Amino acid sequence: MKISDFDFELPKELIAQKAMEPRDSSKLLVLDKKEKTLEHRHFFNIIDYLKKGDVLVINRTKVIPARIFGHKKLYGDEIGALMECFLLNSARTLATQGVR
């Protein structure tokens, strides 16, 4: 398996820039493994798919604006780059560890 196996086109207009309001109106993609079908629903329908004994894990992390754009002239041509930074520890945790 190569990392390039996961390359795909993602149009910018499909990338969420802010949370949905109300929050449970966000989209939910449902896979029926038996029928091998996909269905577009909303998160408020999630209860229709949970069974006794299932566990629902909620991720309460937030996206922060941490993009760095850069341009450099190389051999007369200008090239650009985008770097995205992800914080794996909260700022409070880093501060208590003396990390700046």
Tell me the one-letter amino acid at 51. K
- Domain parsing of the chain, residue ranges: 3-96
Tell me the one-letter amino acid at 47. I
Query: pLDDT tens digit string along 68-98?
Result: 666 667 676 766 666 666 666 555 655 565 5
Query: pLDDT tens digit string along 27-60?
Result: 899 999 999 999 999 999 999 999 999 998 887 7
Q: Distance (Å, rounded) from C-alpha 72 to C-alpha 69?
A: 10
| Three-state secondary structure string covering the chain | CCHHHHCCCCCHHHCCCCCCCCHHHCEEEEEECCCCEEEEEEHHHHHHHCCCCCCCCCCCCCCCCCEEEEEEEECCEEEEEEEECCCCCCHHHHHHCCCC
